[in-house]
Amino acid sequence: MMYNLLKGKKGIIFGALDSKSIAWKVAERAHEEGAKFVLTNAPVALRLGTISELAEKTGSIVIPADATSMMDLEELVDKAVEELGGKIDFVLHSIGMSVNVRRGNHYTHQDYNFTKTGWDVSALSFHRLMSVLYKKDAMNEWGSIVALTYMAAQRVFPDYNDMADNKAYLESVARSFGYFFGRDKKVRVNTISQSPTPTTAGNGVKGFDGFIAYAEKMSPLGNATALECADYTISLFSDLTKKVTLQNLFHDGGFSNMGVSTAIMDSFMENYKEETIDEPKKKDKK
């Protein structure tokens, strides 16, 4: 359903790569809700993805920008304000990358140059982006900035590797910079901690299918899809959430408040019974 929640609003959406991307779904929903925006991603990502199709579908333009470059971000913001005809109302930061994960480096044996690169792209880029928006006074009052995160920032998911540290830093930046953005510019800053979602980036994490299956069994409402995350993001861009800021908002079907579910316990006990039945047989063979 369409509600015109973003009618007349202008934004920047980072990170749409292909139709699996949450940022892609956010762009589609923002367009349906009446917003105008520019799309951006790193030049290399633009070559790998299909963002031009999204731009055509939503009547948007694509402005390449390396989120680790202050110069690129400054040019992006200036061009966006010019293209959209005024200050920005909403921004989505949907950027994440770990070279250690891509190279198969275990968390205990990282290449620290790779670690720095991943942190720069995935987390420091959020501070850098907000710094540019803040200094240029590019956001309208009651504007909204949202970054996507994951619960590995709070709890251990062994194969999520150094991305867990990046997300923890990202969430901290949202709170710390969000204070100043709220106090000085009346702009709100939040992070959405989404269910594990089968995006192109997510599928690069070892054991990600296991994450998804486990979370589905653990969550009373099941995993949230990319489209459902987009709907939630739109609500945070809208005027209906004007006083929501400095929050890490869990959008995960209830997973974050669960200790154990009956589905997980039933599966565990079934395996446990099989193990206890097999154990005496193994002893008899000896």
Task: List, by residue number, the catalytic residues.
Answer: 150, 160
Asked if residue 264 belongs to a known ligand binding site, the reply is no
Asked if residue 282 belongs to a known ligand binding site, the reply is no
Beta carbons within 8 Å of 126's beta carbon, 6+ residues apart: 93, 95, 147, 170, 173, 174, 177
Cα–Cα distances in angstroms (integers) from residue 188 to residues 25, 125, 176, 269, 284, in the given order: 22, 18, 12, 46, 66
β pairing state of 139-149 and 88-93: parallel
- The number of beta carbons lying within 10 Å of the beta carbon of residue 215 is 21
- Dihedral angle computed from the Cα positions of residues 161, 164, 170 and 172, in that order, rounded to the nearest 10 degrees: -140
Rounded CA Rg of the chain: 21
Asked if residue 261 belongs to a known ligand binding site, the reply is no
The token pair at 146 is 């949202």
The token pair at 178 is 């969000």
Asked if residue 88 belongs to a known ligand binding site, the reply is no
Residue from 231, 76, 101 nearest 167 by CA: 101
Asked if residue 9 belongs to a known ligand binding site, the reply is no
Helices (H), the chain: 22-32, 43-48, 51-58, 70-84, 99-103, 112-119, 125-135, 163-185, 208-218, 226-237, 262-285
Q: Residues comprising the binding site? A: 15, 21-22, 95, 167
Binding-site residues for NAD(+): 15, 21-22, 95, 167
